[in-house]
């Protein structure tokens, strides 16, 4: 599989984060809560909440994931998606090209 | 006259037989409607006395004006996006739907609101049925039942409210009577409150690709407007909104159908607005309204991007998409603008509007709510900011070779993307339209730095997780939600109960049959042709027995 997150991208993103972390010490905090003034609160919060959400979502999958035809023909999930007004459907209907 | 009428009359334009002239006339409708109210000074127009009810069809004030303006814009964008359509039913439904939503926004009384409220329900279901499949038919029925249900609750609520107060004016209400509670729940259904929300995620992905763009704009934002008008400052809304902003995050993260991902993310965005309405301070209300305006635009844009990809590739499943950056680069750029706007990147619209709500929650000391909203913001980046563009344009390259989206779609997306950037860079014109004067400056060093930290460190977490192979895989699946209760559990329970009733009835009737048979046999034995009681005796024996009795009596007398 081709990966888009190459080392270069990672280094670039890491560099941007580093700059932002540095900028943290130059901002003038005027939040309403104590935590907002804590150094790097937003950075740490963003990083960890993202990871926590991903792992929580993976766990949730164990409980609620079902096969696509779970609701049978009373749902559109197992239907051919091209019915939703796609180019292919329009072509099949009129025998001509799209707009 | 209410601009809704322009839309209703304009819907007749679908009778024009030629596709392109028809499309052009349809595009003119929102513009004409906009022109009909844009220059009017704020006041109440079109007041009609019906029996002893005072109806008001056109109340223009700051609140209704912003929503009507945004709805006009959304109507224009969705019609432009759907310019290629040949389906006149869908075109007519779009116009009547948009017109009803605008009519409802301008309604000065609850009866008018109710009429247009039901109008949005009835018109919008045709955007789902326009798919013309078995599944869409059933999904539409479920959607219609819930939407009409919301309307009936509103009707019941307004009748009770009228009996109590003698007024049908649509003004601020307090949750102190059964009537106002009913109205509150009616609004809550359309606003997709937690546990009342699943109609949204069930129906929007079932519509046609053009229909879901239209659907995303009106119904839910109309409900936000109604809450802001009727229930601003209701404390329950703060907690309802926080739950609404947070919980859809998980469902959106694991969902494979990208239009359903967007439906969940729409639900989450509505949560931010509901919190703003619940806090009810001028800053919070301005935030709710501004966020409704910005979110209508970027949500439409995202639905358009997924729609354009679906139009070309024939699929909207994350698991079947990927690697489209080379074939649809312009769509990708617009999609990124929408993704950055919904994630509240500085210089994009979400940044300038969502922060009003977050600031208001902090100012009023709602620490937990503020923290939940902050986490929901990270969640938004996760499921819409990163996942949606990632899975379509990068992700797993599926080798799809398609053309760039058609020109009219690109223009619609480009306009929406320009608005996302425009509102972000220069929010003052939007702020000037809001109900209260805005004393807020989004672009402080502190705000920009902390917001960028939040988002870029979260993006760093994404990069690490995907490199480690720990990121959520895209799997063809459906995920259970509240709709499972009425699609599976309740029918299952009903089947169980009816099965139980049927078997016990059968057992009972078998038992009764047996007993009846036995009874009949006994009766037959005594009363039947050969029965004891049916035996015939000769008259002579009767005479003999009487003689014997008389003889005994005689003998007893002489003894």
pLDDT at residue A1 greater than cutoff 60: no
> How many Å lie between the alpha carbon of B323 and the closest alpha carbon of chain A?
9
The pLDDT score that the predictor gives to residue B46 is 87
DSSP A40: T
The pLDDT score that the predictor gives to residue A98 is 41
Q: Which of A83-87, B72-76, B77-81, B232-236 has the lowest mean pLDDT?
A: A83-87
Q: What is the mean pLDDT of residues B132-152?
A: 96
**Phi, then psi, of B133 in degrees rounded to 5:** -125, 165
Q: Is the separation of the CB atoms in B103 and B3 below 8 Å?
A: yes
Q: Which residues of A touch B250 (CB under 8 A)?
A: 53, 56-57, 60
Q: Is the separation of the CB atoms in B176 and B58 below 8 Å?
A: no
The pLDDT score that the predictor gives to residue B529 is 82
Q: Which residues of A touch B208 (CB under 8 A)?
A: 84-85
What digits encode the pLDDT tens for the residues B125-134? 999 999 999 9
The CB-side HSE value for B184 (13 A sphere, CA atoms) comes to 21
Residues 6+ apart with CB under 8 A from A73: B134, B135, B138
Among the partner-chain residues A42, A57, A84, the one whose CB lies closest to the CB of B131 is A84
Tokens read off for B322: 């990927």
pLDDT band, residue A95 (cuts 50/70/90): low
Among the partner-chain residues B362, B463, B471, the one whose CB lies closest to the CB of A31 is B362
Confidence check on the interface: ipTM exceeds 0.95, yes or no: no
Residue contact B458–A16, C-beta within 8 A: no
The pLDDT score that the predictor gives to residue B559 is 80
Please identify which residue in the block is written with the tokens 């919904």. B342
Residue contact A20–B453, C-beta within 8 A: yes
Q: Which residues of A touch B411 (CB under 8 A)?
A: none
What digits encode the pLDDT tens for the residues B184-201? 999 999 999 999 999 999
Among the partner-chain residues A23, A45, A76, the one whose CB lies closest to the CB of B135 is A76
Residues 6+ apart with CB under 8 A from A28: B445, B446
Element (H, E) at B433: helix B428-433
Residue contact A79–B133, C-beta within 8 A: yes
Q: What is the mean pLDDT of residues B166-183?
A: 95
What digits encode the pLDDT tens for the residues B355-367? 999 999 999 999 9
pTM: 0.92
Q: What does the alpha-carbon distance between residue B55 and residue B40 come to, in Å, rounded to a whole number?
A: 19
B132 touches chain A (CB under 8 A): yes
For chain B, what percent of residues have pLDDT higher than 90? 91
Q: What does the alpha-carbon distance between residue A56 and residue B253 come to, in Å, rounded to a whole number?
A: 10
> How many Å lie between the alpha carbon of A16 and the closest alpha carbon of chain B?
8
Q: What is the mean pLDDT of residues B216-225?
A: 97
The pLDDT score that the predictor gives to residue B51 is 82
DSSP B384: I
The closest alpha carbon to B304, from B271, B339, B269, belongs to B339
> How many Å lie between the alpha carbon of B430 and the closest alpha carbon of chain A?
24
pLDDT band, residue A2 (cuts 50/70/90): low
Q: What is the mean pLDDT of residues B421-439?
A: 95
The pLDDT score that the predictor gives to residue B532 is 78
Q: Which residues of B touch A78 (CB under 8 A)?
A: 135
pLDDT at residue A99 greater than cutoff 60: no
Apex B322 CA angle, B320 and B327, nearest 5: 120
Among the partner-chain residues A32, A63, A68, the one whose CB lies closest to the CB of B477 is A68
CA distances from B334 to B92, B121, B147, B216 (A): 28, 30, 32, 17
> How many Å lie between the alpha carbon of A60 and the closest alpha carbon of chain B?
8
Q: Is the separation of the CB atoms in B459 and A13 below 8 Å?
A: yes
Q: Is the separation of the CB atoms in B413 and B405 below 8 Å?
A: yes
What digits encode the pLDDT tens for the residues B368-423? 999 999 999 999 999 999 999 999 999 888 888 899 999 999 999 999 999 999 99
pLDDT at residue A97 greater than cutoff 50: no
The pLDDT score that the predictor gives to residue B527 is 86
DSSP A17: H
Q: What is the mean pLDDT of residues B167-179?
A: 95
Q: Which residues of A touch B487 (CB under 8 A)?
A: 71, 74-75
> How many Å lie between the alpha carbon of A93 and the closest alpha carbon of chain B?
10
The pLDDT score that the predictor gives to residue B442 is 92
Tokens read off for B382: 């996760």
What digits encode the pLDDT tens for the residues B301-329? 999 999 999 999 999 999 999 999 999 99
pLDDT band, residue B479 (cuts 50/70/90): very high
> How many Å lie between the alpha carbon of A59 and the closest alpha carbon of chain B?
10
Q: What is the mean pLDDT of residues B39-58?
A: 90
pLDDT at residue B44 greater than cutoff 50: yes
Q: Is B30 buried (19+), middle (13-18) or exposed (0-12) by CB count in 10 A? A: buried
Q: What is the mean pLDDT of residues B165-174?
A: 94
Residue contact B375–A49, C-beta within 8 A: yes
């Amino acid at each position: 599989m081709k990966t888009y997150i190459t080392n270069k991208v990672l280094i670039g993103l890491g560099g941007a984060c580093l700059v932002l972390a540095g900028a943290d010490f130059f901002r003038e905090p005027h939040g309403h809560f104590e935590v907002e003034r804590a150094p790097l609160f937003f950075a740490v919060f963003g990083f960890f909440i993202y990871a926590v959400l991903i792992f929580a979502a993976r766990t949730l999958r164990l409980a609620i994931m079902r096969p696509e035809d779970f609701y049978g023909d009373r749902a559109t999930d197992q239907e051919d998606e091209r019915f939703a007004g796609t180019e292919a459907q329009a072509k099949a209907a009129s025998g001509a090209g799209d707009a | 006259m209410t601009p809704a009428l322009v839309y209703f009359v304009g819907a007749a334009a679908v009778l024009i037989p030629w596709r392109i002239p028809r499309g052009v006339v349809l595009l003119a409708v929102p513009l004409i409607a906009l022109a009909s109210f844009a220059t009017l000074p704020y006041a109440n127009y079109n007041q009609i006395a019906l029996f002893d009810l005072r109806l008001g069809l056109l109340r223009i004030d700051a609140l209704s004006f912003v929503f009507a303006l945004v709805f006009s814009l959304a109507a224009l964008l969705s019609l432009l996006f759907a310019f290629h359509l040949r389906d006149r039913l869908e075109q007519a439904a779009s116009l009547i739907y948009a017109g009803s939503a605008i009519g409802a926004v301008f309604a000065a009384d609850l009866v008018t609101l109710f009429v247009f409220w039901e109008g949005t329900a009835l018109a919008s279901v045709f955007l789902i049925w326009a798919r013309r499949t078995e599944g869409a038919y059933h999904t539409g029925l479920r959607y219609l039942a819930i939407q009409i249900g919301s309307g009936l609750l509103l009707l019941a609520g307004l009748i009770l409210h009228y009996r109590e107060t003698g007024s049908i004016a649509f003004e601020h209400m307090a949750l102190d009577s059964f009537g106002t509670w009913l109205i509150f729940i009616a609004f809550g259904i359309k606003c997709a409150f937690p546990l009342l929300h699943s109609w949204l995620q069930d129906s929007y992905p079932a519509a046609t690709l053009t229909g879901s763009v239209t659907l995303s704009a009106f119904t839910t934002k109309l409900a936000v407007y109604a809450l802001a008008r009727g229930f601003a400052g209701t404390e329950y809304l703060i907690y309802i909104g926080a739950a609404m902003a947070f919980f859809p995050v998980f469902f959106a993260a694991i969902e494979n159908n990208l239009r359903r991902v967007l439906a969940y993310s729409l639900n989450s965005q509505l949560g931010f607005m509901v919190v703003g309405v619940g806090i009810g301070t001028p800053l919070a209300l301005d935030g709710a309204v501004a966020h409704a305006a910005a979110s209508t635009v970027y949500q439409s844009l995202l639905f358009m991007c997924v729609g354009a990809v679906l139009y070309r590739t024939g699929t909207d499943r994350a698991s079947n998409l990927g690697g489209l950056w080379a074939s649809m680069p312009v769509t990708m750029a617009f999609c990124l603008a929408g993704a950055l706007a919904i994630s509240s990147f500085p210089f994009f619209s979400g940044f300038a509007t969502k922060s009003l709500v977050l600031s208001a929650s902090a100012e009023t000391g709602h620490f937990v709510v503020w923290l939940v909203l902050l986490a929901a913001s990270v969640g938004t980046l996760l499921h819409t900011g990163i996942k949606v563009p990632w899975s379509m344009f990068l992700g797993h390259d599926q080798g799809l070779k398609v053309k760039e989206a058609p020109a009219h779609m690109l223009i619609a997306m480009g306009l929406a993307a320009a608005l996302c950037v425009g509102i972000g860079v220069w929010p003052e014109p939007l702020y000037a339209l809001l109900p209260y004067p805005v004393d807020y400056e989004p672009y402080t060093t502190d705000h920009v730095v902390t917001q960028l930290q939040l988002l870029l460190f979260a993006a760093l977490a994404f990069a690490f997780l995907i490199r480690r192979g720990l990121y959520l895989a895209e799997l063809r699946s459906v995920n259970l939600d509240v709709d499972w209760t009425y699609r599976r559990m309740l029918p299952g329970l009903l089947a169980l109960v009816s099965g139980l009733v049927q078997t016990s009835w059968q057992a009972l009737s078998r038992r009764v049959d047996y007993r009846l048979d036995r009874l009949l046999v006994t009766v037959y034995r005594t009363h039947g042709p050969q029965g004891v009681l049916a035996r015939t005796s000769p008259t002579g024996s009767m005479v003999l027995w009487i003689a014997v009795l008389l003889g005994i009596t005689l003998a007893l007398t002489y003894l």
